[in-house]
Structure 1
Amino acid sequence: MRIFAPLVGLLLLSAVSAVAQEQPTVDCQNAVTQADMNICAGQDYDRADAELNKVYKQAVAATQAMDKELGEIDAAYVGANEALKKAQRAWIGYRDGQCELAGFEARGGSMEPMLVSGCLAELTRKRTTELKQLLEPSGN
């Protein structure tokens, strides 16, 4: 009996995990129902977040290189990477709070997830643009 309970739990966890991974197929160009619009807004945010993560990794590498180069001149000049991390942590807090606030326009309603995801996507794209500017050579 003792072996049976964990085995049942593992099977249930596997079944729930498989169902959770299934994403409904939605034509986001022709989304009509609120549920479809919520899914599409979530997918839009996921794409924006993936791009942000890619650019952030590049920004981390760039600030690490900057710190290394400046550190060879004077150790007091090092800190770009830490400043980037500090800014990113602060931005995440701002983004999450601002988008939670955006959801209050339809608090508890079926439209709330779309509003929150739309806000997350918009702010994430703006942050990605900011990080890309960090990667551009000075003087451009």
Structure 2
Amino acid sequence: MRLAACLVLLPSLLSAQQIEFDISPTADCAAGDGGMACVGLAANSCMESSPGGYSTNGMSICTELELDWWDERLNRNYQLMRERARAFDADTADYAPPQEEALKEMQRAWIPFRDAKCEFVATEWGAGTGAGPATIWCLMDETARQALYLEERSRN
């Protein structure tokens, strides 16, 4: 009975203090224009180097930490695109449709798409405990994809 109780409590005992997360693998790859090949490098490294990193909780924490980094990158790139779109709109107001509004609509449409896609990914796990980490991984992957898309567009 004690062993069963310990096994049930084990994932909750893994805390963020035990997680060894370093964004460098992902950040270094992204700085070298590695694109989507960079996604998950820091999360995987975290899982490998952290005690309990391959537990459901460990995978979720490691992946969420990298997701946060990609989300910050997405927001930064989105703001750059908004500034660029605003300048484009000012220069082309007489003859082109507003770009800033189109950018906002694209981003607003992307968010529910990302969420629905990741909800679908969770269903592939049925009632299994892998649904949580799979959902977070999907969110990270889709957020990175959008961040990289916006970054590429802001360079053109």
Task: Name the TM-score class by shorter chain.
Answer: 0.7 to 0.9
Aligned to 1:97: 116
Aligned to 1:58: 80
Greater C-alpha radius of gyration: 1
Aligned to 1:113: 132
Aligned to 2:16: 24
Aligned to 2:26: none
Cα distance in structure 1, aligned partners of 2:16 and 2:127: 23
Instruction: Pick from 142, 146, 156 the counterpart of residue 123 of structure 1.
Output: 142
Cα distance in structure 1, aligned partners of 2:126 and 2:74: 27
> Matches of residues 11-90 of structure 1 in structure 2 within 5 Å?
24-25=16-17, 26-27=19-20, 28=46, 29-30=48-49, 31-71=53-93, 74=94, 76-90=95-109
Shift of 1:109: 2.9
5+ unaligned residues in a row in structure 1: which ranges? 1-22
TM-score (norm 1): 0.73
Amino acid across the alignment from 1:45: L
Residue by residue, what CA displacement relative to the aligned partner does 1:83-115 show, whole Å, maximum 9, x if unpaired?
A: 000000111111010011111122443221210
5+ unaligned residues in a row in structure 2: which ranges? 1-14, 21-45
TM-score (norm 2): 0.66
Cα distance in structure 2, aligned partners of 1:87 and 1:49: 16
Aligned to 1:4: none
Shift of 1:131: 0.8
